[in-house]
Amino acid sequence: MNAQRKRTVVLISGRGSNMTALIAAASDPAFPAEIVGVISDKADAAGLGIATQVVSRADHGSKQAHDAAIDAALAAFNAEIVALAGYMRILTPGFVQRWQGRMINIHPALLPAFKGLDTHVRALAAGIRIHGCTVHFVTSEMDDGPIIAQAAVPVMVGDTADTLAARVLKAEHRLYPLALGLVAEGKARMEAGRTVLAHFADDADNGTSVVMAPDPLREETDLEHLARITP
């Protein structure tokens, strides 16, 4: 096993499908991050065999006290990286500052477009043809930190917010492990408010090109092709 695996804690509020994707990726001992814990602010969270701690807002008198309790839980897990995965609370500036460069988030849009909630509804209303998801370092501005990785998906004719959300979510489940891996390996670092990406030795042809966008577009095209030739 890789002794250097970065101890990672996932913070969730809800469904936890990205958490599940991270746990699945990290079940490979060669993956550079190890998921050592899950923290939820909701009591019904399931951590899938991973140590799970509920730190609910209602049990704490202020946002500061709540974030301090989360910080204590992270310390108890000896966390080195924090991955927000559908964590639905705004974190206090002190907490964000403390974890800056070591805390990442996934957002269901191609930032800087569509920050905030209801991204798929707004994407459809805007009539964009390409949508997607972003993993970024967390800073004190919501959905505003330096971008680590993005994945694009097409907006199809006839899409509803639900069908679009499902397509983006599939991309999220591939993108988030990829981005966490880059951060855990030190190939994506936050420096002076920007993401610095390592030059990939095995990517010589592409120079410093960024290799972290999976290609759901191609996959979908392949599936369509398959559908056409399959009786």
Residues that bind ligand GRF in the complex, under the rule CB under 6 A: 12, 14-19, 85-86, 106-108, 133, 169, 172
Which lies closer to ligand GRF via its Cβ, residue 169 or residue 213?
169
Which lies closer to ligand GRF via its Cβ, residue 18 or residue 53?
18
Do the Cβ atoms of 147 and 134 come closer than 8 Å? yes
131 is catalytic: no
Q: How many CA atoms does the CB half-sphere of 109 hold within 13 Å? A: 19
Which lies closer to ligand GRF via its Cβ, residue 107 or residue 174?
107
CA distances from 8 to 85, 95, 140 (A): 12, 16, 21
Residue 145 tokens, joined: 């930190």
What type of residue sits at position 64?
A: Q
SS (H, E, C) 74-131: HHHCCCCEEEECCCCCCCCHHHHHHHCCCEEEEECCCCCCCCCCCHHHHHHHHCCCEE
Which lies closer to ligand GRF via its Cβ, residue 67 or residue 172?
172
Q: Which of 107, 120, 131, 173 is catalytic?
A: 107
Q: What burial letters (b/e) apply to 122-145, b meaning 16+ CB within 10 Å?
A: bbbeeebeebbbbbbbbbeeebeb
What type of residue sits at position 204?
A: A
Q: How far apart are CA 210 and CA 199, in angstroms?
A: 9
Minimum CB–partner distance for residue 231 and ligand GRF (Å): 35
Which lies closer to ligand GRF via its Cβ, residue 27 or residue 222?
27
Minimum CB–partner distance for residue 150 and ligand GRF (Å): 12
Minimum CB–partner distance for residue 79 and ligand GRF (Å): 19
Q: How far apart are CA 82 and CA 65, in angstroms?
A: 18
Catalytic residues: 107
